[in-house]
């Protein structure tokens, strides 16, 4: 359901559509520069004094909400993070206004002011819901996880420079107007030899077979040296496919044009997009197109849900990411992480207990490090990121055990 602007209100501020429209068209709003005149023009109580009041913060939150409503059509995302400069008596006050998961927050001088956005539904401005399943596939290290993180607007998949970091399907949910787009980040497709590698590739192909359309992501700067591997994927694909040429910021325009023409002759793609997932370049056109081709269908997830991954899984993945970043050669591929306890304490902090499984005693010694130095570093890095993700203090406990887990990879990679 597409929400009408007039159906939105914030407690204690306004539910007046004319007020919202006047804000949107005010030149100071359009340029991002809010000032005292702005408040005197558009807020009935006016603004008095030489400091930022809570009422002023509420106005900034309201503006953030309006930007969010506008950006639902422009950026196809239900999250926005905007910075405002408030000018009072020629003094500038920076305010960051954030909208996420239904809550609007304005931060000024390390103080947070939050207001819960509410929506009313009726028959006004209602469109049919649409839903599209999309798998992001490709060779290892093409940027699949970076792409899904950029689209969703938050980190739901770990990213490292090492190939084959992603071991299972990870789903992210994006909203574009009246459309739910459910993306699946899949393991890279490569020539598998071990039982674990075969499980990864099997997971990738099962994701492709179960979707509506596939995004074949190609690292455009290295496509020539991988062209035979790409051809092998296309031969087996036989499926609706959109080609995504990624990392366009790393090559020159003539090379990009040559790659585009090459792939246009190679396969009958439904569409070809050129993007930089890392820099969010080109994503607007891609998401808009996916919304256009989405079939009518009900939304399968709540509007504020970004992924179907559990907290247990996400926290284990963060620790595994730190293992990949801190360990060398083949050792990261010999590790698996399972969250055994994820518990919220009365003081609202989290207790997370995880087991790192390794294949050999020698692996355990390397992960622990001399005097526990390695495991301590990994713990600190993982805990720091988990606290950012969950916005809570985290008590992380890591244990290392020896187990031939790669003989039963399906039990450890989901």
Query: Given the DSSP bridges, would you call strands 8-10 and 111-119 parallel, antiparallel or unpaired?
Result: antiparallel
The arithmetic mean of pLDDT across residues 34-49, rounded, is 45
Same domain, 214 and 340: no
Does residue 246 contact residue 279 with C-beta atoms inside 8 Å? no
For residue 55, pLDDT over 90 is answered with no
Same domain, 212 and 284: yes
Same domain, 87 and 152: no
**Could you give the angle at the alpha carbon of 100 between the alpha carbons of 5 and 179, nearest 5°?**
60
What mean pLDDT, rounded, does the chain reach?
A: 79
Same domain, 374 and 315: yes
For residue 6, pLDDT over 50 is answered with no
Q: 2 or 113: which carries more pLDDT confidence?
A: 113
Domain membership flag for residue 302: no
Q: For position 238, what pLDDT does the model report?
A: 78
d(CA 345, CA 350): 6
Reduced to 3 states (helix: H, G, I; strand: E, B; else coil), residue 219 is strand
Same domain, 33 and 66: yes
Q: For position 131, what pLDDT does the model report?
A: 92
Extended beta strands in 73-150, E state:
80-88, 91-100, 103-108, 111-119, 130-138
Q: What token pair was written down for 212?
A: 């509506």
**Residues linked to residue 97 through DSSP beta bridges, in sequence order:** 82, 106
pLDDT per residue as tens digits for the range 198-251? 989 998 998 888 889 999 999 999 999 999 999 999 999 878 999 999 999 999
Q: For position 13, what pLDDT does the model report?
A: 43
Which of 96, 119, 142 is the last residue before a domain boundary? 119
Same domain, 77 and 26: yes
Domain membership flag for residue 298: no
d(CA 152, CA 131): 16
Does residue 69 contact residue 2 with C-beta atoms inside 8 Å? no
Q: What token pair was written down for 66?
A: 């309006």
Q: For position 215, what pLDDT does the model report?
A: 97
Q: For position 224, what pLDDT does the model report?
A: 94
CB atoms within 10 A of CB 128: 11
The arithmetic mean of pLDDT across residues 6-12, rounded, is 38
Domain membership flag for residue 124: no
- Spatial neighbors of 206 by CB under 8 A, at least 6 apart, are 169
Same domain, 330 and 254: no
Domain membership flag for residue 306: no
Does residue 152 contact residue 161 with C-beta atoms inside 8 Å? no
Q: What token pair was written down for 150?
A: 């950029």
We report the CATH number of the domain holding residue 279 as: 3.40.50.300
Lowest mean pLDDT among 254-268, 289-303, 369-383: 289-303
Same domain, 265 and 327: no
State what percent of residues in the chain have pLDDT above 70: 69
Domain membership flag for residue 196: yes
Domain membership flag for residue 304: no
- Pick from 406, 315, 392: which is nearest to 354 by CA? 315
pLDDT winner (highest mean) among 63-77, 88-102, 354-368: 354-368
Which of 235, 262, 293 is the last residue before a domain boundary? 293
Same domain, 264 and 137: yes
Residue 300 phi/psi, 5-degree rounding, is -100, -5
CB atoms within 10 A of CB 322: 24
pLDDT per residue as tens digits for the range 318-355? 999 999 999 988 788 899 999 999 999 999 999 999 99
Q: Output the pTM of the full model.
A: 0.70
For residue 124, pLDDT over 80 is answered with no
Domain membership flag for residue 299: no
- Spatial neighbors of 194 by CB under 8 A, at least 6 apart, are 406
We report the CATH number of the domain holding residue 318 as: 3.30.300.20
State what percent of residues in the chain have pLDDT above 90: 54
Where on the phi/psi map is residue 370: left (φ > 0), alpha (ψ -120 to 50), or beta?
A: beta
Question: 125 pLDDT band (50/70/90 cuts)?
Answer: very low
Reduced to 3 states (helix: H, G, I; strand: E, B; else coil), residue 161 is coil
* Rounded (10°) angle between helices 54-74 and 17-25: 80
pLDDT per residue as tens digits for the range 384-408? 999 999 999 999 999 999 999 988 8
Buried b (16+ CB within 10 A) or exposed e, 246-271: bbbeebeeeebeebeeebeeebebee
134: domain range?
A: 130-293
Same domain, 156 and 274: yes
Same domain, 146 and 247: yes
Q: For position 58, what pLDDT does the model report?
A: 57
pLDDT per residue as tens digits for the range 156-167? 999 999 988 999
Burial class of residue 353 in the structure, from the number of CB atoms within 10 Å of its CB (0-12 exposed, 13-18 middle, 19+ buried): middle
Q: What token pair was written down for 314?
A: 């996400």
d(CA 384, CA 386): 6
Q: For position 108, what pLDDT does the model report?
A: 59
**Could you give the angle at the alpha carbon of 151 between the alpha carbons of 124 and 111, nearest 5°?**
80
Domain membership flag for residue 232: yes
The arithmetic mean of pLDDT across residues 77-105, rounded, is 55
Question: 104 pLDDT band (50/70/90 cuts)?
Answer: low
Lowest mean pLDDT among 291-295, 302-306, 340-344: 302-306
Which of 119, 149, 179 is the last residue before a domain boundary? 119
Same domain, 162 and 289: yes
CA atoms within 13 A on the CB side of 256: 15
Instruction: Report how many domains make up the chain.
Output: 3
């Amino acid at each position: 359901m597409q929400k009408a602007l007039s159906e939105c209100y914030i407690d204690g501020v306004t539910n007046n559509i004319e007020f919202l429209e006047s804000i949107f068209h005010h030149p100071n709003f359009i340029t991002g520069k809010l000032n005292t005149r702005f408040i005197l023009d558009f807020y009935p109580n006016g603004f008095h004094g030489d400091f930022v009041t809570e009422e002023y913060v509420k106005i900034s939150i309201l503006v953030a909400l309006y930007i969010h409503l506008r950006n639902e059509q422009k950026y196809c995302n239900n999250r926005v993070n905007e910075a405002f400069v408030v000018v009072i008596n020629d003094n500038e006050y920076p305010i960051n206004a954030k909208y996420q998961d239904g809550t609007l927050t304005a931060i000024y001088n390390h103080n947070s002011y939050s207001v819960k956005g509410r929506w009313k539904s009726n028959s006004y401005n209602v469109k049919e819901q649409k839903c599209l399943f999309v798998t992001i596939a490709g060779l290892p290290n093409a940027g699949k996880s970076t792409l899904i993180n950029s689209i969703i607007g938050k980190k739901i998949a770990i990213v490292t420079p090492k190939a084959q970091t992603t071991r299972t399907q990870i789903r992210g949910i994006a909203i574009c107007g009246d459309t739910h787009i459910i993306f699946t980040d899949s393991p890279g497709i490569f020539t598998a030899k071990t039982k674990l590698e075969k499980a990864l590739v099997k997971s990738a192909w099962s994701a492709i077979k179960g979707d509506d359309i596939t995004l074949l992501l190609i690292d455009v700067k290295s496509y020539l040296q991988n062209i035979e591997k790409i051809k092998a994927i296309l031969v087996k694909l036989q499926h609706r496919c959109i080609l995504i040429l990624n990392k366009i910021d790393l090559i020159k325009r003539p090379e990009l044009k040559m790659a585009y023409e090459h792939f246009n002759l190679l396969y009958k793609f439904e569409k070809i997009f050129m993007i930089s997932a890392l820099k969010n370049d080109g994503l607007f056109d891609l998401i808009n197109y996916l919304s256009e081709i989405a079939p009518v269908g009900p939304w399968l997830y709540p509007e504020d849900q970004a992924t179907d991954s559990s907290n247990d899984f996400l926290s284990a993945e963060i620790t595994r990411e730190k293992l990949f970043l801190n360990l060398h050669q083949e050792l990261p591929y010999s590790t698996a992480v399972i969250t055994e306890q994820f518990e919220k304490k009365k003081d609202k902090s989290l207790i997370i207990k995880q087991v790192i499984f390794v294949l050999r005693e020698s692996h355990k010694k390397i992960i622990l490090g001399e005097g526990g130095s390695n495991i301590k570093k990994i713990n600190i890095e993982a805990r720091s990121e988990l606290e950012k993700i969950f916005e809570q203090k985290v008590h992380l406990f890591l244990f290392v055990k020896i187990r031939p887990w790669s003989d039963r990879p399906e039990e450890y990679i989901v």
